[in-house]
Structure 1
Amino acid sequence: MNVQCLKTINRVELMPNIPSPFQIRDWKSLAKAYDEFVFNFDLTGDFLPLIWWDKSHRNFKRETFGFPSFVGSKLKGKDGSQEAINCVAAVLGATLVGIDKSNQGGHNWVLMCENYYNVDNGEYLFLNTANWKTGRTFWYEILPNILFYQLAHYYPNTGNFQNEMRIVADRWYEACVAMGANINPWKVPNFNWTAFNFNSRKPLYNGRWREPDAAAGIAWLEYMAYIKWKEPRYLTAAEWSMQFLQKRVENPFYEILLPYGAYAAARMNAEIGRNYDVQKFLNWCFNGDSVCRPGWGVIAERWGDYDCYGLVGSITDGGGYAFAMNTFQMASALVPLVRYDSCFARAIGKWMLNTANAARLFYVDFHNAKHQSCGFWTGDAKHVIAYEGLRKVWDGRSPYATGDAINLAYGAIDFGLYGSSHVGIFGGIINPTNYEKILQLDCLKTDFYHDKAYPTYLYYNPYKIEKAIEIDVGPEVKNLYDAVSHNFLQKNVSERTSFILPADSGAVVIISPADGGIAYKDKKMLINGVVVDYARDK
């Protein structure tokens, strides 16, 4: 029988079990309201509506849509200026909370996202705009491809998605080779660059910053491609990328990609028997000791009268500056990680409780007028658009909800759609339980291209005593199995039942068939041929 495994993330240990003041938003309802607001052509008022039709027909002979990255942006309505990290994220986020964006209001918003596949300029990648030239910055040139893969997971038969996905995987494989990768003799590529130019087929350093965590994003893309098509070259590219990170000593975190490397490491360890250092990668995501972007990590402080633990951004810029997009995105990668490495269930569950609480502070209705930059704008009556970020202090006021739009002349308002569009990640993952401070986190919602799986949820009990957590397993008789303790919590239950969660602990609970046959293979426990535990001996 296995012994329960518990691994920590250093900065999570600095976080309270129960943050204060405590108030969890209804993230699912917020994500649905955001979708209703930003896709509405009939809104009136300052800077409204936010959406416009792009009739340029770039890349494909169809109309698509655009949002500005900020409310009041000077680029609003300019065809081709809209960003994939904003618009594709909005379509994906709505999908994660149950909205079918392939058939909404008579429009196929999913198909319109294909216009970010840059054909006309010969890049043949999903990029941040419909006419983007590679070679500027890795994360802007990798994240749109990740978002597209994620969207294609839910809408696989849309457009030419399947062929385009393979081309993307082939292109990044070729980029790895151009950055020095080789099979025989084996050689790992060097990702210590700013970007890769697919036109010149050369990596480049812009003289100002490097983004070596590009390896994490490429590893995720290539492993997803391998899972789909079992093409060995895709696994090779994933291995090259992960081995670059495994061998690296210095923290490579730049913007947003590194958490996907932590996820890829855990999944490759579990599924194909690798031994990547998941704990090192997770600590890199949180620590704030990146050599590429000093201070970039996860907030572990109380700002003013509010616990802001768990938000993602700079821990040093002005004392601290967290961002909505980065906070939402990290959850997308890290919550499903616990399926493959349940040793981190407590750590990630505790972090999610803190960040799900603090992320409300990105929104206007959780601050008085003195603690935000644009509370005067009345166009968003339901307050569904987040500020770009939250500063620890501004002009003596802490915390302070704001952004860079006004300060850097991007636009007239600091509300950032490019971050708000990712709110569906929280909306899709986070569910309440019978205890306000214990969340049910859906481990499958962003576990893209996973093998067959039963419903799986992460729970964290922050209380000092055990709690009986209620769960609805449906009308058929089921068992509840916990991949953390490697034990059944309940057997032969149906409808609404409960299980005991010890104090200050996490559980990864799988709802499995009550009459399922149990088998063991390669340290995996299977029920009716479906893996429920990736670290279980007989």
Structure 2
Amino acid sequence: MHSNELGQTQQESEKSTPQKIIHLVQKMPNLPNPFEIRDWHRTALEFDRFVFDFNLEGDYLPLIWRDRTHYNMDEDTFGLMSYVGKHIQGGDGTQEAITCMGAVLGATLAGIDKSNQDGNNFVKMLQTFYNKQDKVFVWFPNVPAGDSFWYEIQSHALYYALAYFYPNEPEMERIMRESADRWVEAVDILKDETGRPNFGYASFDFRNMEPIDNGKWKEPDAASGVAMLMYMAYSRFGDPVYLKTAEQCMEFLERQTDSPYYELLMYYSPYLAARMDVEQGKCYDVGKFLNWIFEGGTQIRPDWGMCTERWANYDMHGLVGNLKDYGGYIFLMNGFHLFSTLAPFVRYDPRYARDVAKWMLNFANQAKLFYVDGLPAENQSGADWKGDPNHVIPYEGLRKEYEGKSPYASGDPTVLGWGKTDFSLYSGSHVGFMGGLVEKTNVEGIMKIDCLKTDYYHREAYPTYLYFNPFGSEETVEVTGLGDEKVDLYDTVKGTFVARGAVRHASFVLPSHHAAVIVVVPAGGEMERRNGQLWIDGVFVAPAPKPAVNLRGGLVERQKIRGVLKLDIEALVPEGEQIENIKVTFGRTELFSGKELPRPFYLDTDRFHNGLYHLRAELQSSGGSKDATEIGLIVENPTSELSAPN
């Protein structure tokens, strides 16, 4: 579509957005039980107040100390305990970057100025993690780079995000650009004989400028993390070398047939794919990236994934961790971080609004179980510690069963004997990643989620919020704090205005089990279409309408199938368009190609050797847009003539 196709004041016809599904989210309840969402913003504020208090007294307190070693900087800095009572910490240089940086960014997201707090500039103090010799961020202040991709790349991402909030802080711009340049060099060195980067390593040695293969594990989702660094650097500085490097990293992920998911760096990929589609005209496989994250169970970390179970009397759906140890051993920080990357994602691809918001509700509800006041005292390892009266430090993890109790809040420190408690600042430091984005509404259980706050270095934008109705009836949601100037509310999911000419407050009706992405735009603004995207008064509001193809029926990644399987394939196109073609393949075999799928549609697995196949559906609309979805399925027919391994 050409620019300025509409070019008039608010005459846009309704164009609802077809909704995509995330396979694993189909197994999650709309309304988890027991249902009570903690006040996460208050928790974030109280966490900051507690852990940054140098004057606390009591067992294992305070949790912060002043580091006067001057590693990598001339001034004093600070350290935070990773765990309450971790006896090997507390000495200078023993603080972890993820814990300290996460706490500073989390507090910033919650509205606290960490550059001037009680006379301390905690933002500047983070320079202790910037290794001056290697010119990159490291895990600990006193070590070189090269231990683990995810620890070190995530340290950069946290610092770059802080540079967005503190643009005038001395040295931050120089450090950001200097370290970004080093990663450009590293990606160039990672290129193989085809001239494309290969991230199949554990880390990168910046002192000798070579990748590290430790023979134990690989972290190929480093490509996602480096892409995030590069796109943030490009958005800030405009240097095309950063954009090119980001594209090379995303193309590495695009080429992978098996999930490269190792740790939380993978969480950046759906957001980047959707944003680069809108801003750069790219067409990365967003659905593949999302399902990799939610499904887990990769060859790299086969037991890692997202829980979809009920443990005893508690829904645990949406929590991330090891699904095998202790019947399940899940953690908190991963969910906080994923929340922060998916909130801005729906700005650029509202097709996923419903399933993303449904997961967010499950996580926001279940995350309270990591805190002392979330479970009975007998279901946790440290209920007798009275040093945290407001219960703002979470446990490291939840085990499905331990000592006959389920679930059981604890961690590694007491079980493995290297700490005094299982309370984890390392995990809780990221609470602001959710607490800084979430507000309550007039309807208890419907959250207002800020989609802009973690959209770092975004282009000019209007306030944007995600809502989800988990209830069995429609609800009227009030939107407050709109100011004294008239505004309109545009829902990018429905593709229409839900309120016009509002002052100070407005309301809209949210149907049962539906989501809305509400953009607060100037009243009566001039609307135009630019390459299908909706812009109002020269500001991006919504992406071009796209089709959606879904594999329904409750299939999950690497599910074992046999015999004849009935497939439920849903094909949706934007209003005013038609289905041009649907193609369904199983491995290399084409099952169907045409405009209308036969109903019912069957897959006869007896035609195939046993083994892993990818079931893929591709959809093209008459408007020229395409969509695809796929899932890995394992054929296991014990009596088939083709039952030999594929």
Partner residue in 1 for 2:445: 437
**d(CA) in 2 for partners of 1:344, 1:53:** 45
What displacement does 1:181 show? 6.1
For residues 484-495 of structure 1, what are the structure 2 equivalents within 5 Å? 484-495=493-504
The number of residue pairs the alignment matches comes to 533
Residue aligning to 1:528 = 537
1:480 paired with 2:489, answer yes
Q: Whole-Å Cα distance in 2 between the matches of residues 255 and 316 of structure 1? A: 17
Q: Deviation of residue 109 (structure 1)?
A: 1.0
Residue aligned with 1:111, SS: helix
SS of equivalent to 2:78: strand
Between the aligned residues of both structures, percent identity stands at: 49
The aligned counterpart of 2:455 is: 447
CA deviation vs aligned residue, 1:102-160 (integer Å, no higher than 9, x gap): 111011111111221111xx111122221222222110111100100111110111121
Distance 1:76 1:179 in 2: 35
Q: Secondary structure at the match of 2:136?
A: coil
- CA distance in 2 between counterparts of 1:230 and 1:486 reads 32
Please state how far the C-alpha of 1:459 moved relative to its aligned partner. 0.7
User: Contact 2:136–2:145 at 8 Å: present in 1 too?
Assistant: no
Which 4+ stretches in 1 moved above 4 angstroms?
none
From the two aligned structures, give the one with the greater strand fraction: 2
CA distance in 2 between partners of 1:95 and 1:410 (Å): 31
> 2:509 is paired with a residue of what secondary structure?
strand
* Structure-1 residue corresponding to 2:189: 178
Alignment of 1:59-458 (within 5 A): 59-119=72-132, 122-180=133-191, 187-458=195-466
Partner amino acid, structure 2, of 1:383: H
**Given residue 216 of structure 2, which amino acid in structure 1 is its aligned partner?**
R
Deviations 1:288-343 (A, max 9, x none): 22111112221111111111111122222222111111111111111110001111
- 3-state secondary structure, aligned to 1:405: helix
Q: 1:396: Cα distance to partner?
A: 2.4
Aligned residue in 1 for 2:61: 48
State the alpha-carbon separation in 2 of the partners of residues 158 and 331 from structure 1: 27
Please say if residues 525 and 536 of structure 1, whose CA atoms lie closer than 8 Å, have aligned partners that are also in contact. Answer: no
SS state of the match for residue 156, structure 1? Answer: coil
- What secondary structure, in the 3-state scheme, does the structure 2 residue paired with 1:169 have? helix
CA contact (8 A) 2:110 2:432 kept: yes
Q: Distance in 1 between the 2:17 and 2:271 partners?
A: 21
Equivalents in 2 of 1:204, 1:91: separation in Å? Answer: 30
1 CA distance for matches of 2:333 and 2:374? 18
Residue 47 of structure 2 corresponds to residue 39 of structure 1: no
CA apart distance, 1:536 = 4.7
Residues 48-68 of structure 1, C-alpha deviations (whole Å, 9 max, x = no match): 111110000111110001111
Q: CA deviation at 1:75?
A: 2.9
Query: Whole-Å Cα distance in 1 between the matches of residues 424 and 418 of structure 2?
Result: 11
The one-letter code matched in structure 2 to 1:95 is: T
The alignment partner of 2:282 has SS state of coil
| Bigger Cα displacement from structure 2, 490-499 vs 29-38 | 490-499
Q: Does 1:12 align with 2:25?
A: yes
1:145-176: CA deviation from partner (whole Å, max 9, x where unpaired):
01001111101111211111111211111111
Structure 1 gap segments, 5+ residues each = none
CA spacing shift, 1:434–1:3, aligned 2, 3 Å: closer
Distance 1:413 1:406 in 2: 6
> TM-score normalised to the size of structure 1?
0.97
SS in 1 for 2:277: helix
By how many angstroms is 1:177 displaced? 0.9
Cα distance in 2 between the residues matched to 1:399 and 1:474: 45
Say whether residues 1:507 and 2:516 are aligned partners: yes
Tell me the equivalent position of 1:519: 528
Q: Distance in 2 between matches of 1:110 and 1:352?
A: 29
Give the distance between the partners of 2:309 and 2:475, measured in 1 at CA: 27
CA deviations on 1:231-276 (whole Å, 9 max, x unpaired) are 1111111111101111101111112110111211111112111110
Which structure shows the bigger proportion of residues in helix conformation? Answer: 1
Say which one has the larger Rg.
2
Displacement after TM superposition at 1:221 (Å): 0.7
Across the aligned residues of Structure 1 and Structure 2, the Cα RMSD in angstroms comes to 1.4
Between the aligned partners of 1:407 and 1:296, the Cα distance in structure 2 is 20
Q: CA deviation at 1:3?
A: 4.3
